[in-house]
Structure 1
Amino acid sequence: MNRHTRKFAFFFGMILAMSIAIHVFAQSAEEQAVLTPIHAMFEGMSKRDAAAIKAPTLPGGTMVLMRDGKPAQMTFEAFAERVGKPGTTQIEERIHNPLIRIDNDLAVVWAPFDFLVDGKVDHCGTDLFNLVRVDGRWMIASVADTGTKNCSAK
């Protein structure tokens, strides 16, 4: 192969690899729409704003937080009041590599998460969100998560 042919093959290969990566990792507009209420809830949590935490949730929805093998259940309203209280610590929840499944007006998001307090990971685990589309808007119907302090293995 001459030098120009090798350059062309290299650049063609790079473009092909990037287009495959973009296709594999890009989220569709509908998947992004499903993630919007989740990010809105996280933003409300980081601002400790109870109304913003509740806004993307379905009224009457619930959470199940698994801690040390025991479920802690609460309504979104109770969670929002608990997290929405003023505090001096900065909190932030981040999800990674969400697995999103959508069927008409029902969606599920399964994603590993890190929960940060003052910029450091406090606990981690997996979030499971059930969402429904109501009047064209995705809303969180329920949340379940696992939580552990042993985050070094993740």
Structure 2
Amino acid sequence: MHVRRFSPFRSLLPACAALAALATAPLHAATPEEKAVLAPFQALLDGIGKRDHEMMRAALLPGGMITLTRPEKTTQLHFDAFIDHVPTSGTQKLEERIHDPLVKIDDNIAMIWAPYEFLIDGKVDHCGTDIAHLVKRDGKWLIAGIADNGRKECGTSK
């Protein structure tokens, strides 16, 4: 006669599987307006990857600033100076990937908070969090300011 022992862990397996599935699924689908807010930020990142200054500039509100916070220092640049730092030629492939962006919108202002990884030639160079605030001007979302932090230890987001 086989006696089956009660295991509290066996009864938790279906619940754990369901939670794991929820943890990997987005919390909610992006609304059309959230997608519209994300579009200029993604265009900026794509412009960096393509080394296309005009593509980058089209996503930005003239006069805005970027603040880059690194462990050794914090640097503030006007958008034009930032764009000038992105080389228009080179052999290295540049790519910044954001994930799980949080988007908040109130009428004609919005913000994006998103963890990122910056890759050079397909390898993570650094990671951190991007924060962007946007304004809606003439029916179009433009990035008015950006702040990010960056670190070399990219195993976990902080």
Q: TM-score, normalising length from structure 2?
A: 0.81
Provide runs of 4+ in structure 1 moved above 2 Å.
none
Structure 2 residue 101 is the aligned partner of structure 1 residue 98: yes
Q: Which residue of 2 aligns with 1:131?
A: 134
Separation in 2, partners of 1:79, 1:95: 19
The superposition leaves residues 52-86 of structure 1 with CA deviations (integer Å, 9 ceiling, x where unpaired) of 11111000000000011521111111111111431
The 8 Å contact of residues 51 and 80 in structure 1, kept in 2 or not, is answered as no
Separation in 1, partners of 2:156, 2:68: 20
The superposition leaves residues 82-109 of structure 1 with CA deviations (integer Å, 9 ceiling, x where unpaired) of 1143111000001110111000000000
For structure 1, which segment, 134-143 or 79-88, has the greater mean C-alpha deviation from structure 2 after superposition? Answer: 79-88
Secondary structure in structure 1 of the residue aligned to 2:66: strand
Structure 2 residue 57 is the aligned partner of structure 1 residue 36: no
* Deviation (angstroms), 1:43: 0.9
Q: Which residue of 1 aligns with 2:15?
A: none
The 8 Å contact of residues 124 and 148 in structure 1, kept in 2 or not, is answered as yes
Cα 1:83–1:100 shift into 2, 3 Å: same
Letter in 2 for 1:95: I
Which protein has the bigger helix share? 1
Superposition pairs for residues 1-154 of structure 1, below 5 Å? Answer: 24-68=27-71, 70-154=73-157
The 8 Å contact of residues 66 and 145 in structure 1, kept in 2 or not, is answered as yes
Letter in 2 for 1:85: T
The 8 Å contact of residues 112 and 126 in structure 1, kept in 2 or not, is answered as yes
Q: TM-score, normalising length from structure 1?
A: 0.83
> Across the two proteins, how many residue pairs are aligned to each other?
136
Separation in 2, partners of 1:63, 1:99: 19
Identity across the alignment (%): 49
Structure 2: state its 5+ residue gaps.
1-20
For structure 1, which segment, 75-84 or 93-102, has the greater mean C-alpha deviation from structure 2 after superposition? Answer: 75-84
For structure 1, which segment, 77-86 or 56-65, has the greater mean C-alpha deviation from structure 2 after superposition? Answer: 77-86
Separation in 2, partners of 1:84, 1:101: 32
Separation in 2, partners of 1:25, 1:147: 27
Secondary structure in structure 1 of the residue aligned to 2:47: helix
* Deviation (angstroms), 1:138: 0.2
Structure 1: state its 5+ residue gaps.
1-16
